[in-house]
Structure 1
Amino acid sequence: MRKKTAYGIQTRGDRYTAVGLVPEDDGRWRITTRETGTHAAGPGLDLRRAIGSKGTPLGLVLNRKTVRNALTSFPRLKRKELDKAVHGWVAREEGTPVADWQVAWTELQRPEPDPENTDVFLLYCPKWELQAFQQRIAGWGGQISRIIPEFTVLDQMYRQYGSGRHDLQGWNLVYVTAQEQFLCVANHEGMILTRELPADLNEGGNRQEHIERLATEVDRSLFFARQTEYNPRIDRVVVCGEAGLAADLVALLNRDTSVPAELWDLNTLFTMPEGEWDETLILPAMAAVLASGKGGLNLQAGTGTGLLPPVLRRRLALAAVTAAWTLVPLLTVGGLVTSRIQDHYLDAAQVRMQEALVRAEEAKQVYQAEKLLEDKENHIRQAARFQRDYAGVLLHLASLTPDEIVFKDLRLGDGTDGEPRIYLTGESTSNLVEDAQQAFIAFQGALGGSPLLTPEGEPRKLVISAERQGGGMRKKVEFSMECGIRQGTAVPVEEPAVALREEN
């Protein structure tokens, strides 16, 4: 079976170092790819294709100066509550919202367990810095497996592959090269302290002075570690990095300090085709190894907390498998019973649904019939509420008519516009023609001021004549005219005493 190549990338300023490696049968890793360049130019086509292939492990070495770390205690809580407490501690410590930080943490186990408190080692980094770091290699493709700072890369690598680590209770892991100088104090439960070491300000001009300064800081770090609440026991100082510098530092530490020091030879872990070890490849090569594994701290989004210990994970997995095999028969029988119950319920529900549809259709028809009847009754009631009071109009006309005027003909009819009209034919009589005319004029004036009637134009007929009556002559004015009925003559009529239809 072909072994999967894992890749690690470390950036320094605007430059990057990329390493690809594969595991060998003897437990070592063979470096197959090494490439350096600028982020502006980007990786070569072969490297881009290799990293972008599906399932390729990819680890990123994050600049440790952008990452904070702390060792603190919390009240004993469940894991979800403890995770919230850790994030809250970071936000309170930095004075910014929780959402501004990417946090990874792991729980430490004291030699003597504390029933009330939990020790936690945590890493946290501003999300904007992490996103800027990821943006630099966004065009490379691939799925990032792990993002951790340099000291975490070194610590996790030593925990898994350091020689003699099982015989130690605690250690001071020192990394020195021309570019990187730092240390981390840890034990089997977790990391306790990290410190920067002084850089070579003379750039190799006074090597012995630089080594002495390194030894002084390493010895001071042991003192600082003992001042912590955890107070670890440090059995060994383990030095790695650039082979010559690391060997000289080990010799000086063994001569001047009380804690034994030893060299961690990284050539036992990695091989190169050329046979030459390049110190700039150490950290990205370690990141590639860690990316191909599981567990440990990780600042990649969605993997913020450390995983459970391996022994506990195996026990939980075994318990889950056992429970699954036990539950299979129960689940099978339960599934059959549930299926039959559901089928019976669905059949009954289908029958009830059909019955409900029939009743709904009947109710719909009844409602439509009732609605039609109600609309008819409302229309009749509305029409009956308003009708023209013709009797009142005629009485009003009589009240306007002088005594001298007698109607020969009076008819109600519709005009050309469909509105009702009163057609009048009559005469005004008197002994004197002036009185007859005056009575007709008064009648016209009364009609003009009537609130109910209005004369329509001039009289159709107007004749002044005389007729013999008794022993003398009687004067008269004959007329024929048309009157309209004003709209205001529509007056409300009281509701009938008995309703048209009784409501249920």
Structure 2
Amino acid sequence: MKKRHGYSLNIDGKQALILKIRTVSDTSYCLEFVERTGNDHPESLERLRELTRPRRRVVTNLPNDGVHLLTAKLPALASKALTSAIQGVVNRKEGGLPGDWITQHTQLPAEPGPTLSAAAGDDYCIIYADSALLAERFTLAEEVGCHPLGMLPDFLALEDLFRRHGPEGRDNGPWNLVFLGQDERFLCVGDEHGLLFSRPLPEDLSGDTDRTDYLERLATEIERSSFFAQQAERSLVVRNIMICGQPDLADELAEHLKQHVDAIVQRWRPEDIFETEVDEPLWPLTLHLGRAVAAVHGPLCELLPPGAKGSPVKLVSRQVGIALAAFVTGAVSMLLAGGLLTSHVQQDYLREADVRINRLYTLAGQASADYLQNRALQARQDNVDRLGR
């Protein structure tokens, strides 16, 4: 097997962390070095020079709060029109003009059950980021002489690694992926088709003494996120919880959840797929390793600013883009409002209204049970907060 290499470049203010891996097999890697600049290490300059050499595969970082997730339903459209319509959806939510946001989308499979006509449209998972932020972060990487093939926030770096090398069972329905790091703590809810959302988790203020209250708080947040996933328009019933990160805390949380939640709880150790030539623990480097693995294979999520070398994003000129997006956005709004629906589609819509109504009766019964469950979760959170005072 020909060895391939991947680099992670994490830029944080005036500091940078550079990490290099190589492939050992299809499912394992070796960490060759970790270098932190700005710490007077004599190798720092040489490591930076290595990134500037031709054909280096580098993925750099983005802030978690700079990348957003959205699910939207759109009618059937041609490729370019669909891209413009998706940008229109993001613009309506966030504001701005076409070109202000870089998007990537994935079409989601139709929900099981009675099928609706094409007029109902398809669901799309949309990942998007501010193009100005992407340009700024790309420029930071260029300033050290490298041209990244991708940029990933921590939650997408972990999700990329999880989709490639996660534990068995990750494809057995929706999952809640929990990461407990030294500086970052978050969860991601999704399934084999895409992410639904990511959200931060509270910091551990127990001082490594009695973590009971903190574990209870984490459990409540995890259950609450699973509850929200079930209530979302793209309803996911989460039955799998995967926990990774700080070994002792992750182990304790896994045991706590096994006793208190109705779900399959697994302890995932992504660091186990890495050999190392570095004398430091691997788990604190999990997110950097995820970016390096993405660099080896190519990121599953490709967010780059317009005009970046190697960027998969193909943008028409700003003037044409604005005109096309305005046209498609208006057309989509009219379609959704019924202004351009033909009488044939209207008849289909009316027939299928009965299907929707019957489904709503079923959902109403579920909502009643879910409401009671959420009340119980909130009461438990209030009790934890009261005991923690």
Report if TM-score (shorter chain) is over 0.5.
yes
162-171 vs 197-206, which deviates more? 197-206
Q: Distance in 2 between matches of 1:53 and 1:119?
A: 42
2:153 is equivalent to residue 149 of structure 1:
yes
2:176 is equivalent to residue 165 of structure 1:
no
Q: Distance in 1 between matches of 2:66 and 2:42?
A: 23
Q: Which residue of 2 aligns with 1:437?
A: none
Q: Which residue of 2 aligns with 1:85?
A: 85
Superposition pairs of residues 487-498 of structure 1, within 5 angstroms: none
* Structure 1 residues 17 and 280, CA gap change in structure 2 (3 angstroms): farther
After TM superposition, give the deviation of residue 287 of structure 1 in Å.
0.6
- Residue identity matched to 2:174: G
Q: Which residue of 2 aligns with 1:233?
A: 237
Q: Which residue of 2 aligns with 1:326?
A: none
Q: Distance in 2 between matches of 1:125 and 1:26?
A: 31
2:21 is equivalent to residue 21 of structure 1:
yes
Superposition pairs of residues 279-298 of structure 1, within 5 angstroms: 279-294=283-298, 296-298=300-302
2:61 is equivalent to residue 52 of structure 1:
no
After TM superposition, give the deviation of residue 3 of structure 1 in Å.
2.1
Q: Distance in 2 between matches of 1:80 and 1:65?
A: 28
SS at match of 1:200: coil
Could you list the per-position Cα deviations for residues 345-370 of structure 1 after superposition, in whole angstroms to 9, with x for gaps in the alignment?
Answer: xxxxxxxxxxxxxxxxxxxxxxxxxx
Percent of aligned positions that are identical: 26
The higher radius of gyration belongs to 1
2:199 is equivalent to residue 185 of structure 1:
no
Q: Distance in 2 between matches of 1:270 and 1:162?
A: 13
Q: Distance in 2 between matches of 1:26 and 1:167?
A: 19
* Structure 1 residues 252 and 60, CA gap change in structure 2 (3 angstroms): same
Contact 1:90-1:98 at 8 Å conserved across structures? no
Contact 1:238-1:264 at 8 Å conserved across structures? yes
* Structure 1 residues 107 and 228, CA gap change in structure 2 (3 angstroms): same
After TM superposition, give the deviation of residue 186 of structure 1 in Å.
0.9
After TM superposition, give the deviation of residue 193 of structure 1 in Å.
1.8
Q: Distance in 1 between matches of 2:41 and 2:278?
A: 26
- Residue identity matched to 2:105: W
* Structure 1 residues 178 and 166, CA gap change in structure 2 (3 angstroms): closer
After TM superposition, give the deviation of residue 77 of structure 1 in Å.
1.6
2:136 is equivalent to residue 132 of structure 1:
yes
- Given candidates 261, 275, 283, the residue that maps to 2:265 is 261
| Ranges in structure 1 where 5+ consecutive residues have no aligned partner | 306-504
* Structure 1 residues 166 and 211, CA gap change in structure 2 (3 angstroms): closer
Q: Distance in 2 between matches of 1:225 and 1:231?
A: 6
Q: Distance in 1 between matches of 2:122 and 2:16?
A: 39
After TM superposition, give the deviation of residue 155 of structure 1 in Å.
1.5
SS at match of 2:90: helix
2:65 is equivalent to residue 65 of structure 1:
yes
Q: Distance in 2 between matches of 1:73 and 1:270?
A: 40
After TM superposition, give the deviation of residue 38 of structure 1 in Å.
4.4
SS at match of 2:301: coil
TM-score between both structures, scaled by the size of structure 1: 0.56
SS at match of 1:192: strand
- Residue identity matched to 1:209: D
After TM superposition, give the deviation of residue 231 of structure 1 in Å.
1.1
After TM superposition, give the deviation of residue 41 of structure 1 in Å.
10
SS at match of 1:255: helix
- Given candidates 292, 300, 306, the residue that maps to 2:304 is 300
- Residue identity matched to 1:220: R
* Structure 1 residues 14 and 203, CA gap change in structure 2 (3 angstroms): farther
Q: Distance in 2 between matches of 1:142 and 1:136?
A: 9
Superposition pairs of residues 323-472 of structure 1, within 5 angstroms: none
Could you list the per-position Cα deviations for residues 349-393 of structure 1 after superposition, in whole angstroms to 9, with x for gaps in the alignment?
Answer: xxxxxxxxxxxxxxxxxxxxxxxxxxxxxxxxxxxxxxxxxxxxx
Contact 2:60-2:141 at 8 Å conserved across structures? no
Could you list the per-position Cα deviations for residues 240-281 of structure 1 after superposition, in whole angstroms to 9, with x for gaps in the alignment?
Answer: 111111111111111111112110012321122256523331
Contact 2:6-2:58 at 8 Å conserved across structures? yes
Q: Distance in 2 between matches of 1:120 and 1:43?
A: 46
- Residue identity matched to 1:292: V
Q: Distance in 2 between matches of 1:295 and 1:50?
A: 21
- Given candidates 241, 246, 249, the residue that maps to 1:242 is 246
Contact 1:177-1:245 at 8 Å conserved across structures? no
